[in-house]
Amino acid sequence: MAIGTALGSSSALTHPCSAPASEMNLPTPASSLVPGADAAPPPPLFSGTAVQCGLAHNNVCVDAVYLSEADNAWRLGGFEHMQPSTDVTKEYIARANSFMHQSAQCPEDGVAPDANPTHARDVYAVCSLVEAVLGASPDAALALAPLGGLLTRLATGLHAPAPAARPGLAAFLGDPCFRDCLLVQVVDFLRNLTLKPPPEKEAFALALPAHLRALPARAVARVVAPRLLDRVPLGEPQLAGAVDLLLLPAGGGGVIPEAEFREFVLPHILRLLRDRGLQTRTALLRSIHGYAPLFTEQEAAEAAAEVKRGLEDSNDALVEATLGALSAFVPLVGGGLLVAERTRIFTGAAPSPSRPVRHGVGDVGPTGGPAAPATRGPASALGGIRPPDNDPAAAAERERKKARREADRAARSALMTAGSRCIVTSSSVSFCSALPAAAAANTSRMVVGTG
C-alpha cells in the first residue's frame, strides 16, 4: 500500500519518536539496552548506496513509498526515473518533470542541473516527503511538538536554495530525535541481533520487557512485533519472556490492546504458523491458548489446519505440545475439523438420583447400627422400583394381579383333586394326563378310572 494512499485517509498521525527516552523517565537508550556500553552510533536509517553508486532516484515522494505487509516497514519504489548521475542533464529533467511528482521537482531544474551534486535532487525531495508525512494530520503541530527542532533543521539544510549547500542525509543521523528515540534503538538492536555478542543479548533481553511496556502500544504492535516475532529472535531462548508479551493481548498478560492485537499481530501469527522452524512453532504453541480465541471462524480453521501438521512430525515433544494446543480450537471450529471421522463410543447412563439404596440382611447403617429398610420411591426405568402405596392406579393394578393369582391357584387345586386318568388303547397306555371331571364326561373315548 502506498504511503500517499494511507495518508489520505489518516485523521491523526503520531510519530513513534515523539517521546524521547529522557521524557519517559528512562535511561539513555544505549545504556538501557546494553548496560555499561558506550553510546551506540546512530542506526543506518538512511542508506547512501544509491549516491555511492552514482545513481539518482529523481522521484522521491509519498506515492513512491510503500508499506511492507510483513513488518510494516517503509520501502522506496518508483524507480522508473532512476538514472546515473551523468545522465541527469537539463534536457532529461525537462522531459521527465511532466511525469514526476511535483514535490520531487527542485527549483534549480530549469537552470543548470548538470553541475549540481548527485544527491542534491533526492535530498530536496526527501525533505518534501518528510514535510508531507508529518503535515498530513491537522493535529501534527501538537502531536509532533518534540520534533520541531528537527523539522527546522531539515528545512534549513535539505531545502537550501543552493544545491551545493544541501548536506547528505547521513548528516542528520546524529540528531537527538534519532539518537534518543527508544523505539529506534530497540528496532536497530533487533535488526542486528545476529551480530551482537552474547553478553549484549542477555542485557538486551533483561531490559526489553520494560521497554515494551514504556513504548506506545500501537508502535509496539506495528513496528516492534514484526521484528521480534521473527525466526531469528524466536530462536533466542533469553527473549522468550519478551516474545510472550507480544503473543498475548493486554487482557491476558501482554502489552498490546486487543484492537491493535487483532489488526497487526494476528495476521503476522497466521503467517508464522506456515513457517517450519521448530523454535518458531514452539513459541507459538506456548501462548496459543491466549490468542486463539481472538481468531475469526475462518482464521481459526486456517490456523487449526496448520497447527495440526505438527502431529505428523517425528519429534515427540512437538507432538505432545500440538495435542495440547489443538484443544484451544475445539470451541471455535468444533472437533470435526480436527478428527475426520467420529462416532459415539461413550454414553452417559448415570443412575437416577432418586433411586434408593437397598440393604441386605445384616447390613450396617451409617451410624453403626442395623441398616434402615429401603423406602419405596417412584418407578425407575433402571431399577424397577415399586410405586408408592398411596397411588390409586398402582393399588388397582395390585388388586387385579392378586385376583389373577387366586384364580390360578384354584384351577391348579381342582386338577389335583380330580385324580389321574389314563387313555387306554388296544395295545398299551399311550398317554396319561390329569383331566378335570367335566373334560372326562365330554370325551368320546373310553375312560377308565384307576382308583
The grid cell for 193 is 541481533
Cα–Cα distance, 276 to 326 (Å, whole number): 17
Phi-psi region of 287 (alpha: psi -120 to 50; beta: other; left: phi over 0): alpha
Ranges of each domain in the chain: 3-179, 192-337, 417-451
- DSSP secondary structure code for residue 349 in this structure: -
Architecture label for domain 3-179: Orthogonal Bundle (1.10)
- Is pTM beyond 0.75 here? no
Phi-psi region of 78 (alpha: psi -120 to 50; beta: other; left: phi over 0): left
Judged against a pLDDT cut of 50, whether residue 16 lies above it is answered with: no
Per-residue pLDDT at 429: 41
Cα–Cα distance, 239 to 233 (Å, whole number): 7
Q: Which residue type is seen at 343?
A: T
Coil, strand or helix: which one is 365? coil
Q: Which residue type is seen at 84?
A: P
Q: Return the half-sphere exposure (C-beta side, CA atoms, 13 A cut-off) of residue 209.
A: 13
- DSSP secondary structure code for residue 194 in this structure: G
CA 322 to chain centre: 14
CATH entry, 192-337, from 1.25.10, 1.10.20, 1.20.120, 1.10.287: 1.25.10
Q: What angle do CA 207, 209, 213 make, to 5 degrees?
A: 120
- DSSP secondary structure code for residue 47 in this structure: -
Lowest mean pLDDT among 59-63, 153-157, 252-256, 401-405: 153-157
- Domain 3-179 shares a fold with domain 192-337: no
Residue 428 banded pLDDT, cuts 50, 70, 90? very low
CA dihedral 36, 205, 234, 311 (to 10 degrees): 150
Lowest mean pLDDT among 151-160, 248-257, 370-379, 388-397: 370-379
